[in-house]
Amino acid sequence: SEAADVLGLMHYMEVLRLFTAVELVPATSDENVTVTDTEFSSVPVRLYLPRRAPGGLRRAVLYFHGGGCYDFMARRISNELNAVVVSVNYRLAPPHHFPVQFEDVYSVTKFFLQSKVLSQYGVDPARVCVAGDSAGGNLAAAVAQQLLEDPEVQTQLRAQVLIYPALQALDLELPSYRDNAHKPVLPRSLMVRFWSEYLSSEPALREAMASNRHVPAQASELWHFVNWSVWLPEHVTRAHRPGTPAWAGEELARRHPGLLDPRASPLLATEARLRRLPPALVLTCEHDVLRDDGLMYVGRLRAAGVPVTHHHARDAFHGAITFLAGPLELALGHRLLNTCLGWLQENL
C-alpha cells in the first residue's frame, strides 16, 4: 500500500480496500436465510431474513462492518437469533470523509426504525440493536448516542454491541497504542492513517496525528473524557506514565471540525448523554491498539449507570472476529462471535 501510494499508482486506502474486496460475495440465499441487496434511505444495504417461522415478532440487528463484507457473520446472526439483519454498505474513505459514513448509517437506522418498516419485516420495535466492529463499532456507538437527541425517532434501541471499537481521535498515545504499536493486524501507523483519512486526506493532519500533536489547547475541556489515567484499570496503566498533552494550534481543528465531534469520537459524549444509552456489550482484545478505547468506554458507561457487559479476550488481536471461514478461519473468531451471539440471545 505504501509503495503504490508513494509511486502514485493508487491511493494507500484504495490498495487496502483491494484486500477486503476478495471477501465480497453476491447476495445468495441459502436454506436458512434469504439474502437480498436493496436500499434504505438511498443507502445500499444487504438484508438477511430468516426462513424459519418467526413464532411472533422478530429481533433485528443493524450491523455496521469494519470496512469489508461480513456475509458469513451476518448469516449466522440472522439464522441463530432468528433475526432480521441489515448490513449497511456505507461509503468509505477515500473519497468520502466524515460525516458521510455516519450520515449513511444513521439515515438507514432512522429509516428502519419507522413503525411501517418494522412492521413490513415483522420486527418487534422493542428488540432492535445496533452492532459493529472497529470502524463499525465507532458508528454503532455514535448512532446509539445520536438517536437519543432526535425528536423524530420514536423507537429506541434495546441494545448495542461494540466489537473492538475505535472511539476517540484525541489521544493516539494511549497505553494500548504503545503496547501494540507494531503488532498485526492493526499497527499504530495504520490506525493513525485510518483516523486521518476518515477526517481528511490532508497530509498535514496525518503528520500531526502521527506525532499526537493535533488537538488544540482550546479543546482542553474535552481531555478528561479520554484521560486514561482516570478511566483505565490499574493493571493497564501501571507500566505507563501519563504525559502532558502536546497541544496544537487552532488551524487544524478549524479545518477539520470532525476532530472534536462526538459523532466521530463517541468517547467525547457528556455523562448526561451517556446515561440514557441502552445496555451494551463491549468486546476488547489485548493485542490491539484500540483496546483502551473500549476499556475507557466501559468505564465511562458504567460511571453513567449504563448496564455494560465487558468481554476482554486476552489472546485476541484486532479483527479476530472476522476469521470465520476459508483459509484464514480461526477457532478464536468463532469463539468471539459465539460470545456476541450468546449475549444477544439473552439481552435482545
Tell me the pLDDT tens digit for each residue of 129-157.
Answer: 999 999 999 999 999 999 999 999 999 99
Residue of 104, 133, 171, 288 marked catalytic? 288
User: Secondary structure of the chain: what % helix, strand, coil (to 5)?
Assistant: 45, 20, 35
Q: List the strands of the sheet with 159-163, edge to edge.
A: 33-40, 43-50, 83-88, 58-64, 123-133, 159-163, 280-287, 308-317
- The single-letter DSSP state of residue 266 is G
The answer to whether 121 and 58 have CB atoms below 8 angstroms apart is: yes
Residue of 78, 87, 134, 200 marked catalytic? 134
Cell (9 digits) for 5: 501510494
Binning pLDDT at 50, 70 and 90, where does residue 184 land?
confident
Tell me which residue has cell 441487496: 37
* 65 noted as active-site residue: no
* Cβ count within 10 A of residue 255: 13
pLDDT for 169: 96
pLDDT tens-digit readout, 283-294: 999 999 999 999
Tell me which residue has cell 422478530: 58
pLDDT for 11: 45
Helix (H) or strand (E) holding 71: helix 71-81
* Sign of the dihedral through C-alpha 245, 248, 253, 256: negative
Q: How many angstroms separate the CA atoms of 311 and 278, rounded? A: 17
Q: How many angstroms separate the CA atoms of 86 and 328, rounded? A: 25
In whole numbers, what is the pLDDT of the chain averaged over residues?
Answer: 92
Cell (9 digits) for 344: 444477544
Half-sphere exposure of 144 (CA within 13 A, CB side): 37
Cell (9 digits) for 194: 485510518
Binning pLDDT at 50, 70 and 90, where does residue 9 land?
very low
Cell (9 digits) for 245: 498533552
Task: Please check the confidence at residue 195 and state whether its pLDDT lies above 50.
Answer: yes
pLDDT tens-digit readout, 102-125: 999 999 999 999 999 999 999 999
pLDDT for 24: 67
* 182 noted as active-site residue: no
* pTM of the shown model: 0.94
* 288 noted as active-site residue: yes
Beta bridge partners of 44: 39
Domains contained in the chain, CATH given = 24-168+267-347 (3.40.50.1820), 170-257 (no CATH)
The answer to whether 131 and 161 have CB atoms below 8 angstroms apart is: yes
Q: How many angstroms separate the CA atoms of 161 and 304, rounded? A: 17
